[in-house]
Amino acid sequence: MPRFLKSPVPRSQVTAARADVTDRVRTILDDIREHGDEAVRRYSEKFDNWSPESFRLSPEEIERIVAGVPRQTLDDIRFVQKQVRTFAQAQRDSMLDVEIETLPGVRLGHRHVSVSAAGAYVPGGRYPLTASAHMTIVTAKVAGVPRVAACTPPIRGEIPAATVAAMHLAGADEIYLLGGVQAVAALAVGTESIPGVPMLAGPGNAYVAEAKRQLFGEVGIDLFAGPTEILVVADEQADPFVVAVDLLSQAEHGPDSPAVLVTTSEALAREVEQHIERLLPGMPTKDYAEPAWRDHGEIVVADTLDEAFGIADSYASEHVQVLTENPRQALEKMHDYGALFLGEGTCVSYGDKVIGTNHVLPTRGAARYTGGLWVGKYLKTVTYQEVTDTDSSALLGEVCGRAARVELFEGHARSGDVRAAKYGARALPWNEEAGA
């Protein structure tokens, strides 16, 4: 049986906080639906103290901003975007169109067609998540999305130059300096100055995540997301210092970011906890990492590695880092996770920033039913049918007539009857009874 050496705060405390977010987001969305640009500007002034003449950056403004970014930063952005593009292209290449002939002259097929436009949200606030531009925009462009409108907030009244450069180099067709609920709402419902999009993608804070949840159905979204999560599976071979550092690397995302250790070694668990207590006071981001570990950190000791993998699956965590003697066992043993990071040579931070897989991943247990953002999220798999053989159409017409009448769909049945009659010389008794 697993033993909990450290447990999180009661779930009821988290649920109460979420209810307040839900109500506030609903009010903002309704206001923007009704008042458009005026409401967007009002909320941008309120939350970001930002009200430019136009939220959209002109080509000249983008050129000037990018020119001011250090060359090394631009080179690093290009390097990372190449990694993301290479992997995304491999994913796209794996998605083949299909056409088969099931009967003589009966052709069935599907095609992968991109959405007509997508909105990419690139978070800012305390952390300008430049990497989110790579993940959302590059991936959309590889999928073939013709119009990508990207939003990112100003940071303390300043333009986040590196983020704008990343959005531009990724291929964004429109760049808006606009953040929060007002940004995703404007993209989703459309305003006088911001044409709407049929799909939203990208991470964000609790308010942005809730806005996407409430807008789902009105538009498509990449996935439901919440606070960043990390879960480490470790055995006695793991380095406790590395485990501690990696747990804290994700705890710094926010005060509600869960960091969980599941291990087969109680000795390692104790050492990890000691390292965390020593490292936390000196972290520049301890005001986020400290409450995250205090309120949402967990340490679980399992009797066996199989039990540890089972416990990890029950969390369905966004990021699962496997620091065991044979980390690739997790590929066979686990199935509920956003992304796996195998062995000490890799880490979740690589996935967040540089390695090329997408960092927009499911949280709050959503990994039980979905993976993360990838080119397929921007594609619609649409089918087509064609019947060119008259004998096959007559056969299908007969079967359709019988099958539809079992379900009491007379109109459907008659569509089949007409073809059975035209191509197979079958009778149309219902037409004769009508006097035709």
pLDDT digits (tens, 9 = 90+) for 52-91: 999 999 999 999 999 999 999 999 999 999 999 999 999 9
Token readout for 135 is 């993940």
Q: Are 400 and 413 in contact (CB under 8 A)?
A: yes
pLDDT level of residue 126 (50, 70, 90 thresholds):
confident
**Element housing 318 (H / E):** none
* Separation CA 259–CA 294 (nearest Å): 10
Residue range 137-159: mean pLDDT, rounded: 96
Secondary structure class of 153 (helix, strand, coil): coil
d(CA 233, CA 323): 6
Pair 396, 106: CB distance under 8 Å: yes
Report pLDDT for 225. 79
Residue 368 has pLDDT above 80, yes or no: yes
**381-394 average pLDDT score:** 98
CB 270 within 8 A of CB 231: no
Model confidence pLDDT, tens digit, residues 303-362: 999 999 999 999 999 999 999 999 999 999 999 999 999 999 999 999 999 999 999 999
Average pLDDT, the chain: 96
Element (H, E) at 411: helix 410-424
For residue range 8-30, what is the model confidence (pLDDT) as tens digits? 988 766 666 678 899 999 999 99
Mean pLDDT for 109-135 is 95
Query: What HEC string does 73-107 produce?
Result: HHHHHHHHHHHHHHHHHHHHHCCCCEEEEEECCEE
3-state class (DSSP) for residue 95: coil
The strand pair at 230-234 and 319-323 is best described as parallel
Average pLDDT over residues 219-226: 90
> What is the C-alpha to C-alpha distance for residues 314 and 335, in angstroms, rounded to an integer?
10
Mean pLDDT, to the nearest integer, of 38-53? 97
Sheet with 220-221: strands ordered across: 174-177, 148-152, 118-121, 199-201, 220-221
Instruction: Tell me the catalytic residues.
Output: 318-319
- Confidence (pLDDT) at 12: 65
What is the model's pTM? 0.94
